[in-house]
Amino acid sequence: MGTGTEAEVVESVSDLPVQDPPAEEFSAADLRWAKYASSEHQRDDVALIPYERMEAFIAGECNSPECPTRFHIERGRKRDRGTLREVRSDDYLLYRMYWCSFGPENYGEGGTILPSRKYRLNTRNRAARPQSMRGCTCHFAIKRLYARPSLVLIIYHERRHINKSGFICHGPLDRDAIGPGARRVPYVGSEIQQQTMSLIYLGVPEENILQTHMEGIHRYCGSDAKVDSLASQYVHKLGMIIKRSTHELDLDDQASIRMWVDRNKKSVFYYQDSTDTDAFVLGIQTEWQLQQMIRFGHQDLLASHSSFGVSKLKYPLHTLLVFDSRQHALPVAWIITRSVTKQDTLRWMKALTERIYSVESTWRIGGFVIDDPASELDPIRDVFSCPILFSLWHIRRTWLKNIIKKCSNSEVQREIFMQLGKVMYSIWSEKNPMDALEQLFQDFVDQTAFIQYFKSFWVPKLEMWIDTIRSLPVASQESSGAIEGYHLKLKVKAYDDSQLDALQRVDWLVHKLTTELHSSYWLNLYADESGSFPEVKAEYVASTSWQRALKIPDDAVIIDDKEPFLAKVASQKDTNQMWNVWNPGSEFSFCGCSWSMQGNLCKHIIKVNMMCGPRKDFQPSLSFQSFQRVLLDLWQKPMDDSFSLDLSVAWVMQMQERIQKVTELATSDGIAQVSGRLPVQWTNKKGRRIATKRTSPLRVLPHSNGTVQKDFTPKKNRKRKRLSTVSG
């Protein structure tokens, strides 16, 4: 491996020494390599390092001065302890293949035409984007050993950053990677370029962008006049490219979308063109969105923001959201289609999950949140195999906006909204919600504009909404507020006044999503996790009403027992200003602040509801009432003392254990503290006793429709046992 000496050949991984270079980051050049072959790979270079130093090795490989790059996970697999009957020295608990991000595809010359070369850059020096795919074959694999979990086996299949022809294909040593004079051009990685692009889209002055860009460049090369001059030219050229770029690749919108799909195959997970029999469906997910979906979606909630722009856009936009470490909604996939049929929904959902499983085969979500009762539930259950929740953010926002728009009297606005809340709260009572609605029509018969709107638009489908709320658990206010926060940001980006003439073009919507909106979320998360751009981070942290409510002190809330229908919140900007929150403790509370009067869920309502939650003199929220309903349904005794009783008890016990574990993890310092307290369970394996950690007693969970979840426990490898028997 570049040491200049012939590497020794080993027959077993057990013969390899454990190497732990003292540097904070180290690369392949700091290790001594040996040759080893197995049934899974040819005779390749291998080395053994501690598992805790794996990230240090990857970072060192990325920061190579000859070919600075990033490595992405091309494939990955996991297995649990106890799943192998016979263990070899190179069997793994965790397997990942890391590939240089300049490969494996080749979008440069000799491969597919590099996206943006023909229609963006038409100069003598046609500089390609430095992170573009160039067919680099450099890749390695890591194995966390099954027999020794504290160690990692590194298998370097190809260390050189070359293409299939054997030529260096990127980096300072590549003459054609960036264009004429590439060896003198400073390296610009994907992270630096994405950061620069995001700042340009946000309208940051070019002087500030250049300063930030140079700080990133100096991490890879020294600071001198030549480097600074080239960096300045790069930022200026990139800014001009972005300003001059257009969404119209062709005058015909359908042809323009086909061209975009052909040039951005890595960002498209599903595409179905419009025909006489098939509806138009376009599924978009960038590499960064894929990483965030795997990172934040595993064993967590996935939310659906559906039917955006039904009346304004050519095709409505459907967004899948995950919740980051601050519980902010993060878009991880966009689906543009008017079709809501079960067949089309199943197709794009399967295509999306197959893409995820190709990277992380053990990825699973904990629950799926929908906001439209017309959504098809069977595809969600078939593909994701998880419980389904229902969010009230859409119905609350729509009702409040139309009440404010069609009723001029503030007292009438408040009373109508509170009465609609009572209709929703009567769902789990013995009262008929439609009777409460009829009473509302009689009490406010003089509000003809709103009553006519409600009868024509909501009454025909209100029964469907009520049935959905009865049958599905209701999502919390925090998740509803996060989804609403994404909705508001999307609305600002999509309905820009300067682009209203392009709303009926799909290529314009795709351009907005993949440039401005994507760059905005990328920069927000980068600023939050890296500590860079404090102003961007502060704005991002306070972008949801829930986070803003957390900053209101408890003593700023006044709840008078003599007036149970009114709470007051002191303004944080003006101490003399008090905001009245009517109907406290309810999702349908009413506040007079400007943010709430736009139909939004404001921080004052959330803060008051936080204070009312533990108090018994206020009714519990709709989400908590639905949670109680689920528990009561599980707790109800079957008609006879049969197997159904055993299964119900098992489900209740499993739910109790999971809730206890989640609570324990949320209040502890880390997962290590929780796992260390798990009891030891002795199990019999081939006549020997092995100490293992106790797992969950059941591997099934009830669906929201009462069916049993599939068992995803890894199956024992019986093929190896048969082979060993034959060989014996």
C-alpha pair distances (Å), 295 with each of 435, 550, 668: 46, 25, 21
What is the model's pLDDT at position 637? 59
Is 503 inside a domain boundary? Answer: yes
C-alpha pair distances (Å), 344 with each of 341, 350, 447: 6, 10, 42
Q: Is the pLDDT of residue 219 over 80?
A: no
pLDDT tens, 26-65?
A: 999 899 999 887 766 678 899 999 999 999 999 999 888 7
481-501 mean pLDDT: 83
Q: How confident is the model at residue 405 (pLDDT cuts 50, 70, 90)?
A: very high
Is 266 inside a domain boundary? Answer: yes
Same domain, 289 and 405: no
DSSP assignment string, 640-686: SSSHHHHHHHHHHHHHHHHHHHHHHHHHSS-HHHHHTTSPEEEEEET
Q: Is the pLDDT of residue 218 over 70?
A: yes
Query: Distance between CA atoms of 280 and 99, rounded to whole angstroms?
Result: 34
Is 267 inside a domain boundary? Answer: yes
Q: Is the pLDDT of residue 677 over 70?
A: no
The Cβ of residue 698 has, within 10 Å, a number of other Cβ atoms equal to 15
User: 88, 117 in Cβ contact below 8 A?
Assistant: no
Q: Is the pLDDT of residue 5 over 60?
A: no
Q: How confident is the model at residue 616 (pLDDT cuts 50, 70, 90)?
A: confident
Q: Give the closest residue to 599 by CA, choosing from 488, 441, 477.
A: 488
Same domain, 240 and 260: no
Assign 3-class secondary structure to 371-439: CCCCCCCHHHHHHHCCCEEECCHHHHHHHHHHHHHHCCCHHHHHHHHHHHHHHHHHHHCCCCHHHHHHH
283-293 mean pLDDT: 93
CATH (domain of 333)? 3.30.420
Percent of the residues in the chain that have a pLDDT greater than 70, as a whole number: 80
What is the model's pLDDT at position 728? 40
658-680 mean pLDDT: 66
Tokens of 9: 């050949």
Query: Distance between CA atoms of 411 and 404, rounded to whole angstroms?
Result: 11
User: 72, 680 in Cβ contact below 8 A?
Assistant: no
Is 419 inside a domain boundary? Answer: yes
What is the model's pLDDT at position 233? 82
Same domain, 199 and 326: no
Q: How confident is the model at residue 228 (pLDDT cuts 50, 70, 90)?
A: confident
What is the model's pLDDT at position 53? 93
Query: Distance between CA atoms of 368 and 366, rounded to whole angstroms?
Result: 7
Instruction: Quote the Cα angle for 612-610-301, to 5°.
Output: 130
398-415 mean pLDDT: 93
What is the model's pLDDT at position 107? 58
The Cβ of residue 156 has, within 10 Å, a number of other Cβ atoms equal to 18
151-172 mean pLDDT: 83
Q: Is the pLDDT of residue 574 over 70?
A: yes
Question: Which distant-in-sequence residues (6+ apart) come within 8 Å of 279 by Cβ?
Answer: 272, 337, 338, 339, 341, 344
Question: Which distant-in-sequence residues (6+ apart) come within 8 Å of 680 by Cβ?
Answer: 691, 692, 693, 694
- Point out the least confidently predicted range of 359-368, 646-655, 667-676: 667-676
Same domain, 381 and 482: yes
Question: Which distant-in-sequence residues (6+ apart) come within 8 Å of 64 by Cβ?
Answer: 27
What is the model's pLDDT at position 458? 93
Query: Distance between CA atoms of 272 and 351, rounded to whole angstroms?
Result: 12
Q: How confident is the model at residue 127 (pLDDT cuts 50, 70, 90)?
A: very low
What is the model's pLDDT at position 7? 67
Measured between alpha carbons, how far apart are the two ends of the chain, in Å? Answer: 37
Same domain, 455 and 494: no
Query: Distance between CA atoms of 380 and 340, rounded to whole angstroms?
Result: 13
What is the model's pLDDT at position 531? 79
What is the model's pLDDT at position 668? 67
Q: Give the closest residue to 545 by CA, choosing from 665, 685, 348, 393.
A: 393
Is 470 inside a domain boundary? Answer: no
What's the half-sphere exposure (Cβ side, CA atoms, 13 Å) at 138? 27
240-247 mean pLDDT: 74
What is the model's pLDDT at position 688? 42
Round the average pLDDT of the chain to a whole number and report it.
81
Q: How confident is the model at residue 94 (pLDDT cuts 50, 70, 90)?
A: very high
139-145 and 34-38 beta bridge pairing: unpaired
What is the model's pLDDT at position 536? 86
Query: Distance between CA atoms of 546 and 526, rounded to whole angstroms?
Result: 21
What is the model's pLDDT at position 162? 84
User: 182, 172 in Cβ contact below 8 A?
Assistant: yes
Same domain, 236 and 345: no
Length of the chain, please?
728
Tokens of 479: 């998740």
Q: How confident is the model at residue 154 (pLDDT cuts 50, 70, 90)?
A: very high
Same domain, 402 and 387: no
Query: Distance between CA atoms of 292 and 294, rounded to whole angstroms?
Result: 5
137-145 mean pLDDT: 93
Question: Which distant-in-sequence residues (6+ apart) come within 8 Å of 393 by Cβ?
Answer: 371, 480, 481, 483, 484, 487, 601
| Orientation angle between helical segments 433-443 and 410-425, nearest 10 degrees | 170
505-509 mean pLDDT: 90
What is the model's pLDDT at position 120? 34
User: 270, 348 in Cβ contact below 8 A?
Assistant: yes
Same domain, 153 and 30: yes
Is 615 inside a domain boundary? Answer: no
220-235 mean pLDDT: 74
C-alpha pair distances (Å), 389 with each of 136, 329, 367: 44, 16, 7
| Residues 343, 348, 349, 353, CA torsion sign | positive
Is 413 inside a domain boundary? Answer: yes
Q: Give the closest residue to 103 by CA, choosing from 71, 58, 140.
A: 71
What is the model's pLDDT at position 188? 64
What is the model's pLDDT at position 173? 63
What is the model's pLDDT at position 436? 86
What is the model's pLDDT at position 40? 64
Domain extent at residue 228: 190-244
Neighbouring-strand partners of residue 559: 567
Query: Distance between CA atoms of 212 and 216, rounded to whole angstroms?
Result: 7
Same domain, 86 and 138: yes
What is the model's pLDDT at position 713? 47
What is the model's pLDDT at position 711? 47
Q: Is the pLDDT of residue 378 over 60?
A: yes
Same domain, 194 and 234: yes
Count of structural domains, the chain: 5
What is the model's pLDDT at position 346? 95
- Point out the least confidently predicted range of 166-175, 540-549, 622-631, 684-693: 684-693
Same domain, 445 and 387: no
Query: Distance between CA atoms of 145 and 147, rounded to whole angstroms?
Result: 6
Consecutive H or E run containing 99 = strand 92-100
Consecutive H or E run containing 311 = none
Same domain, 217 and 343: no
Q: Which residue has the higher pLDDT, 4 or 385?
A: 385
Is 665 inside a domain boundary? Answer: yes
Q: Is the pLDDT of residue 725 over 60?
A: no
What is the model's pLDDT at position 41? 62
3-state secondary structure of 103: coil
pLDDT tens, 418-444?
A: 999 989 888 877 778 888 899 899 999
Q: Is the pLDDT of residue 530 over 50?
A: yes
Q: Which residue has the higher pLDDT, 601 or 613?
A: 601
What is the model's pLDDT at position 89? 87
3-state secondary structure of 221: coil
- Point out the least confidently predicted range of 41-55, 583-597, 660-674: 660-674
Query: Distance between CA atoms of 239 and 241, rounded to whole angstroms?
Result: 5
User: 101, 71 in Cβ contact below 8 A?
Assistant: yes
What is the model's pLDDT at position 289? 94
Query: Distance between CA atoms of 593 and 598, rounded to whole angstroms?
Result: 9
